[in-house]
Chain A
Amino acid sequence: MASAPSKLYADDVSLVVVLLDTNPFFWSSSSLSFSQFLSHVLAFLNAILTLNQLNQVVVIATGYNSCDYVFDSSSDLNRSFENGRMPVMCSSLLQKLEEFLITDEQLSKEEPEGKIKPSLFSGSLSMALCYIQRVFRSGALHPHPRILCLQGSLDGPEQYVAIMNAIFSAQRSSVPIDSCYIGSQNSAFLQQASYITGGVHHKPQNLDGLFQYLMTIFATDLHSRSFIHLPKPVGVDFRASCFCHKNTIDMGYICSVCLSIFCKHHKKCSTCGSVFGQAQSEAASASDKKRKTPET
């Protein structure tokens, strides 16, 4: 970054932070093998780096037990041009990725029970945002950052608060989160992330052509996006799920102290312990109406 001549930064220079899902539980059940997936992604990353010589790519692996940086095109190690750029990039990325996968596997203590085996998406998203803040700090002229999530595993409900925090922080610093979902069901987290931050969400129909999807949708820089017809967002589900039964509801009760969501009237909030008045919900809605009438 620092050595790049700052005058050359134009509006089409990108910094792409790619979050790579390496969850072994997902890849063992996926129709696309991990090596095929990597060959698509590596070609895509090379393409981004060649689109503009100032473009920058950072890859963060989202594992099952940990998250780590596996590649940074701006670091000195990856700058060597001796053997040509592409092979150096691929070999260093693959080497770091392999090291990461081994440590990630060693960290798993016991065989997990239950069906949901989500990756630590909130961790890698937070790391990506920290990295992007560093780029913002580097001066007035910096590449335009965006985040691309290549996610296949299911959403982890316990990460909801952390992921939403990260999404709002990204929205605040106007960093779009693009997402490409390669699993079987669609991910509500990724849909919301892309919708709120103004990124693109897409779920490819045919995974054999993943490279083409990546190139046509996610390779364009932020400035050029305004000229291109990108996939339109399908309806985003903003309904909430209640804290008590995890049902999706379109009408419910909210604790006025902690904003926990419940599908029916409780006597006590299970999150913050506040005790609710019994008949007050009716009284409150009545006073609501009373207040409403003079205005309308």
Chain B
Amino acid sequence: MNNGAGRRINGGAEEDDDEDDVNGDLDAWERTYTDERSWESLQEDESGMLRPIDNQALYHSQYRRRLRSLSSTAARIQKGLIRYLYIVIDLSRAASEMDFRPSRIAVIAKHVETFIREFFYQNPLSQVGIVTIKDGVAHCLTDIGGSPESHINALMKKLECSGDSSLQNALDLVDGYLNQIPSYGHREVLILYSALSTCDPGDIMDTIQKCRKSKIRCSVIGLAAEMFICKHLCQETGGTYSVALDESHFKELILEHAPPPPAIAEFAVANLIKMGFPQRAAEGSISICSCHKEAKVGAGYTCPRCKARACELPTECCVCGLTLVSSPHLARSYHHLFPIAPFDEVTSSHLNNPNCKLQRNCFGCQQSLLDPGNKPGPAVVCPKCKRYFCLDCDIYIHESLHNCPGCDSLRHS
């Protein structure tokens, strides 16, 4: 996980430099095992069962990564919440290489699936499409749409790799599609690139400028090595370029694209979008839904403008084109706009300060904050409500709950 060889590509190496070049001649997959020596961290309890591995190190890397990303975006509250993202998957013969186990494409497919689910969870109003590059030709696998299942199913059926890869063909295709979307949407491309070359019919620099003019944010995750053309593309269009070292690093990189990026004013025009909030039809009523054209019993939503029936939300009404959402879909995005402040680590000066009374238990889960030796263990403190939390609650509060239990249990005047 923390072998530095390629991480410095990812925008400056911070902490992992000391371990460079130790395991130079091993493959990436071998390195993950030799470096971590994960078998040594296994522990048994009294009855001989395996105990969960102490994840302190993992915690710290996550925590630091989160703090970094928070501090870079803390000032702005504008996020691109309505995203139109094309995932471009390189299915050239380089994708069948076996340096990732079992093969690059299997790893890509597995993590694209997780990514798509996570993406729709975090961006319920956004849409995704998939484009594949094979034999030098870009091909649209799925149209842009809001249903995770249809994308995943389509992708899993088409995983054969052959031929060369062409960045320009893919960008041209995606550019054509993304030019049709409404002006308020954020246009994004995420390219998962396995090849070390691109075989293009024309001048790719023109295409990059075209993408830049159409305000498409292009990001690339490489699986082989850094390429100048990818880096240039990302720099020109405001995206990020990173190269995966191994499978877990690839997963980390791809999931970084799930939270909405900061909104750039010139990229998407702020706008008011007309939306409908349909009522859920009474259980047991029979009607024909407009999306599948089938008679269905109960469980449907009625478009408030044209009264057509839709099966699930969010969607666009097939008859009048109104965007249909329910209020929880909107609410799911609100935590991006009202983030909670990162907690401070409790330092020894905190503990010695007589004004701050030492709290013995985590305010969230009531776990004792004392070490076995009755000394204060690691803890964090909310800067607003001054409540103490354990490290596990800290992660949970910032990564899933998005509420501070301490601040929420105080009445604000």
**For residue A139, which residues in chain B have a CB less than 8 angstroms away from its CB?**
52
A88 to chain B, nearest CB (A): 19
- List which A119-141 residues lie within 8 A (CB) of chain B: 120, 122-124, 126-127, 129-131, 133-134, 137, 139
Q: How many residues of B contact A (CB 8 A)?
A: 73
**Chain B residues closer than 8 Å to A212, beta-carbon distance:** none
B397 CB contact (under 8 Å) in A130, A232, A291: A130
Given contacts A65-B411, A277-B269, contact A258 B78 (CB under 8 A): yes
Contact with B along A232-275 (1 / 0, CB 8 A): 10011111110000000111111111110110011001011011
A169 & B401 in contact (Cβ 8 Å cutoff): yes
**Which B residues have a C-beta under 8 Å from some C-beta of A?**
49, 52, 77-79, 81-82, 121, 125, 143, 180-185, 263, 268-280, 282-283, 304-305, 316, 318, 321-323, 325-328, 330-335, 337-338, 362-367, 392-393, 396-397, 400-406, 408-411, 413
Given contacts A130-B405, A258-B81, contact A287 B411 (CB under 8 A): no
A66 pairs with B275, CB closer than 8 A: no
**24 A/B residue pairs, CB under 8 Å, sorted by A:** A120-B410, A129-B396, A129-B401, A130-B396, A133-B392, A134-B367, A232-B283, A235-B282, A238-B326, A251-B275, A256-B81, A256-B272, A258-B79, A259-B125, A259-B330, A259-B334, A272-B337, A276-B272, A284-B183, A284-B273, A287-B182, A288-B316, A289-B321, A292-B316
Minimum distance in angstroms from A189 CB to a CB of chain B: 11
Contact of A162 among B125, B305, B364, B403 (CB under 8 A): B403
Known: A251-B304, A254-B275, A257-B270. A166 touches B403 (CB 8 A): yes
A280 at the B interface (CB under 8 A) = yes
Q: A285 within 8 Å of B by Cβ? A: yes
CB of A229 within 8 A of chain B? no
Give Cα A281 to B403, complex, Å: 34
* Contacting pair A284 B271 (CB below 8 A): yes
CB nearest neighbor in B for A164:
B331
Asked whether A127 and B409 contact (CB < 8 A) given A134-B392, A239-B327, A269-B270, the answer is yes
Residues from chain A with Cβ under 8 Å of B330 in the complex: 240, 254, 259, 261
What's the minimum C-beta distance from A151 to chain B, rounded to whole angstroms?
15
Q: Which of B77, B276, B279, B396 contacts A133 (CB 8 A)?
A: B396
Known: A139-B52, A239-B279, A254-B273. A130 touches B393 (CB 8 A): yes
Number of interface residues of A (CB under 8 A): 81
A289 to B182, CA, bound (A): 10
The residue from A123, A137, A173, A292 contacting B321, defined by CB atoms under 8 A apart: A292
**A258:B337 contact, CB within 8 angstroms:** yes
A172 at the interface (CB under 8 A from B): yes
Chain B residue numbers with a CB within 8 Å of A66 are 409-411
Closest A residue, CB atoms, query B265: A274
B272, A262: Cβ atoms closer than 8 Å? yes
Please name 6 further chain A to chain B contacts, defined as beta carbons within 8 Å, in addition to the given A254-B274, A258-B79, A295-B143, sorted by A numbering.
Answer: A67-B409, A123-B409, A130-B365, A236-B280, A253-B272, A285-B321
Closest residue of chain A to B392 (Cβ to Cβ) is: A137
A228 within 8 A of B: no
Contact B182 A235 (CB under 8 A): no
Residues of A within 8 A of B405 (CB): 67, 123, 126-127, 130
CB distance from A59 to the nearest CB of B (A): 12
Inter-chain CA distance A165–B403, complex, in Å, is 7
Question: How far, in angstroms, from A173 to B143 measured CA to CA in the complex?
Answer: 31
Q: How far is the CA of A169 from the CA of B405 in the complex (A)?
A: 13
Interface of chain A residues 164 through 191 with chain B (CB within 8 A)? 164-169, 172-173
